[in-house]
Structure 1
Amino acid sequence: MRGVLYLFIATLLAAVGWVASKIVVQSVPGELFIGSRFLLASLVLLPFCYKSLLKLSMKQLLSACGVGVFLGLALQVWIYAVSISDSLSEGAFIMSLAMIIAPLTAWILFQAKPNRAFWIALPVSTTGMMLLSLTNGWKMESSQLLFLLASALLSVHFVMNKRISGNLKPLVSICLQLFVVGLVGLGYASITQPHSIAFSGELISWFAISTLIATSVRYLLQTMGQYKVSMETAALLMILEPIWTLLLSMTLLGETLEPQKLIGGGVIFLSLFLYIKLSRRFAKAEQAKAVQVETEQAETVKA
């Protein structure tokens, strides 16, 4: 139960991060914001995992940092989309498609054929995407295309992160990846044109919220929660993030969502729910079938 609570809070904090990011990027360049936010967030997590970090081999270190580069690229595209988007909620729903895109990415990169649940959920998610983005005819807005690109990059991160997860403790991996995201952001900021920043108490407050609460605490709770509950339960809880983002953006930013887009977001939510539930059901069926085959083989040998 405690793990469920951790993940529930983590999804809410992630949504807070969407709102905080939108407010901060109105005054701070996105690449500088992402760089400083994630670099500081990694330093906050460092005291919890530095002993394990010192024990890593060079191969483990490079693997985690390499995966962090993909996360950094995804977040750079994401923050730019946030800065030009008029609707955080639709961006959150599009970003949630990364879970659906990930099996296709794994198929392309590692020839890991998607399961049946993917092929059932894919047309549902595509329908939701069309309802969400094609309000004004067959033309997607720039921010929507960028959110979709960020989602695809995030799916690459999901796939690569899963391949290294067995060799690293989750908190160590997250700390390293956040650090790399910070370096990617600050590196990109260093080669772009300098911008003047008008500091204010509100800006500093929202930056602190996005760094400490929506990044460090969120990832810490998410890691603790994922450790305590099954993967299916964690995935079901994590799809609450776009729902919270929708509610917070409407409450704090005064956003409105057209009925068609709201239905589209709901259809995307349904596709994620179907994918997770059907994946679990099909996995159980295959496991039961494998046990039955083993039992029959054992009986044959005895006979």
Structure 2
Amino acid sequence: MKKTILADGSLLFVAFIWGATFVIVQKAINFLPPHLFNGTRFLIAALLLSLLLKKARRKFSLELLKSGIFLGFFLFLGYAFQTVGLLYTTSSKAGFITGLSVMIVPLLSIWILKDKPRSIVFLGSLLGTIGLYFLTLGDISSLNIGDLFVFFCAIAFALHIIFTSKFANQYHALPLTIVQLLTVSISSLICSALFERATITIDSFFQKDVLIALAVTSIFATAIAFLIQTKFQQFTTAARVALIFAMEPVFAAATAFFMIHERLTGNGLIGCILIFIAMIITEIQDIKQIKWLKSKYHLSKSSE
């Protein structure tokens, strides 16, 4: 019980870190191309964690290496789509669309982890789709390719959560995390060399916003956050992790409001509310549980 509470609290802290860094990353990629930024960020994080290896070096194996690369591939896709998407969309919208992974996780868990299908999951997916419509198509003037990129990011992150649940209790967290981060770094740097033709000088790395973003994201949002996720996800389920991570877009919207005074449109706000409701109800076991909770509420009211 204590491990579950500690795991939930630690994962909620991770959601806060990720949500709070949306605005910071968005500022940094004005000076560095997205893939180059990600490659640098994840490389620094991997090097920092490598300093902690010591006895954990013995935990490396071929199977761990394969699993780490596999997880790192989905993590790379998630951050690549998210960071590029932030070039075209707003921090709050990106945060809420990324939050769709909380509904994608239970759906994919039915197929990948062989979880039992639940009617409430399909209801949540429907609400989420309607919410996404209001958030993007509901305001035609703000519809852009960035929203689609961030939606692909949500799918990739959902797959990462699912497979982390599968591998977390099989391997030591530290080396598994390092392999993931190195995979993301190498993949991002290759993509940067292939697709990002912008002229970058050494001075670009020493811009104030870039230095702050690299420091904060490398240490907190990458090294610490993914080590916590890999370590503590073995004590909870993929669906529960996704639900906790649903707080990330809430933190992102709050950060965008306080730091850059960014506000959603009316349609966007409706979409966010629908998506948030969908996030919450996907954790309810079944439609029957809603009826049971409702009847219990009425019984308690009548006894007063």
TM, length-normalised to structure 2: 0.81
Q: Which residue of 1 is the match for residue 52 of structure 2?
A: 48
Tell me the distance in 2 between the aligned counterparts of 1:126 and 1:245: 20
Q: Which residue of 1 is the match for residue 178 of structure 2?
A: 175
What SS does the corresponding residue of 1:255 show, helix, strand or coil?
A: coil
- Are the counterparts in 2 of residues 232 and 280 from structure 1 also a CA contact under 8 Å? no
Q: Which residue of 2 is the match for residue 245 of structure 1?
A: 252
Map 1:93-242 onto structure 2 (within 5 A).
Answer: 93-106=96-109, 114-137=117-140, 140-192=143-195, 193-197=197-201, 198=204, 199-223=206-230, 226=233, 234-242=241-249
Tell me the distance in 1 between the aligned counterparts of 2:109 and 2:231: 26
Map 1:10-49 onto structure 2 (within 5 A).
Answer: 10-49=14-53
Aligned residues: 282
Q: Which one of 7, 10, 22 corresponds to residue 6 of structure 1?
A: 10
- Are the counterparts in 2 of residues 88 and 249 from structure 1 also a CA contact under 8 Å? yes
Q: Which residue of 2 is the match for residue 259 of structure 1?
A: 266
Instruction: Give CA-to-partner distance per residue, 1:124-183, whole Å, 9 cap, x none.
Output: 111111111112359942111111111122223233333333322334322211111011
Tell me the distance in 2 between the aligned counterparts of 1:80 and 1:72: 12
Tell me the distance in 2 between the aligned counterparts of 1:264 and 1:185: 32
- Are the counterparts in 1 of residues 109 and 115 from structure 2 also a CA contact under 8 Å? yes
Percent identity, aligned pairs only, is: 21
CA offset at residue 221 of structure 1?
4.1
Unaligned runs of 5+ in 2: 290-304
* 1:8–1:71 distance in 2 versus 1, CA, 3 Å: closer
Superposition CA RMSD, Å: 2.9
Tell me the distance in 1 between the aligned counterparts of 2:237 and 2:149: 32
TM, length-normalised to structure 1: 0.81
Tell me the distance in 2 between the aligned counterparts of 1:212 and 1:131: 35
- Are the counterparts in 2 of residues 68 and 176 from structure 1 also a CA contact under 8 Å? yes
Tell me the distance in 1 between the aligned counterparts of 2:11 and 2:114: 31
Unaligned runs of 5+ in 1: 283-303
Tell me the distance in 2 between the aligned counterparts of 1:231 and 1:112: 10
- Are the counterparts in 2 of residues 74 and 154 from structure 1 also a CA contact under 8 Å? yes
